Amino acid sequence: MPSYERCPEPQPFAEPAPRGTRGGRWRRALGRMAAVVGLVVAGAVVAPSPPAQAAQAAVALEKVGSFGANPGGLNMYVYRPATLTANPAVVVALHGCTQSAQIYADNAGLATFADRHGFLLVFPEQTSANNSSKCFNWFQPGDTRRGQGEAASIRQMVAHAGSAYGADPERTFVTGLSAGGAMTSVMLAAYPEVFTAGAVVAGLPYGCADDVVSAYSCMSPGVDRTPSAWAQSVRDAHPGYTGPWPRVAVWHGDNDPTVAKKNADELRDQWTAVHGLDQSPDRTDTIGPNATRREQYLGAGGTVAVEVDRVPAIGHGTPVDPGTGATQCGATGTANFIDSICSSHWITGFFGLDGAAPVPGGLPAPSGLAATGATDTSVTLTWNGVTDAASYAVYRDGTRIATPAAPPFTDTGLSPGGSHTYSVAARDPSGREGARSSQVTAATTGSAATCWTANNYQHVQAGRATTSGGYTYAKGSGQNMGLYNVAVTHTLKESPAGHYVIADGTCP
Mind telling me the catalytic residues? Answer: 178
Residue 407 CB: number of other CB atoms within 10 A?
Answer: 19
* First-to-last C-alpha distance (Å) of the chain: 54
Q: How far is CA 97 from CA 82, 148, 264, in A?
A: 29, 21, 19
Which residues neighbour 192 within 8 Å (Cβ) at sequence distance 6 or greater?
234, 238, 241, 243, 244, 245, 246
DSSP 73-107: --EEEEE--TTPPSS--EEEEE--TT--HHHHHHH
Which residues neighbour 337 within 8 Å (Cβ) at sequence distance 6 or greater?
47, 107, 108, 317, 318, 320, 330, 331
Q: How far apart are CA 498 and CA 495, in angstroms?
A: 7
Q: How far apart are CA 45 and CA 51, in angstroms?
A: 18
Please provide residue 129's backbone torsions phi and psi, each rounded to the nearest 5 degrees.
Answer: -65, -35
Which residues neighbour 396 within 8 Å (Cβ) at sequence distance 6 or greater?
243, 411, 420, 421, 422
Q: How far apart are CA 411 and CA 424, in angstroms?
A: 13
Q: How far apart are CA 42 and CA 44, in angstroms?
A: 6
Beta bridge partners of 90: 120, 172
Beta bridge partners of 329: 321
CB burial of 157-177 (b: ≥16 within 10 Å; e: otherwise) equals: bbbbbbeebebbbebbbbbbb
Give the angle subtended at the CA of 282 by the CAs of 224 and 170, to the nearest 5°. 85
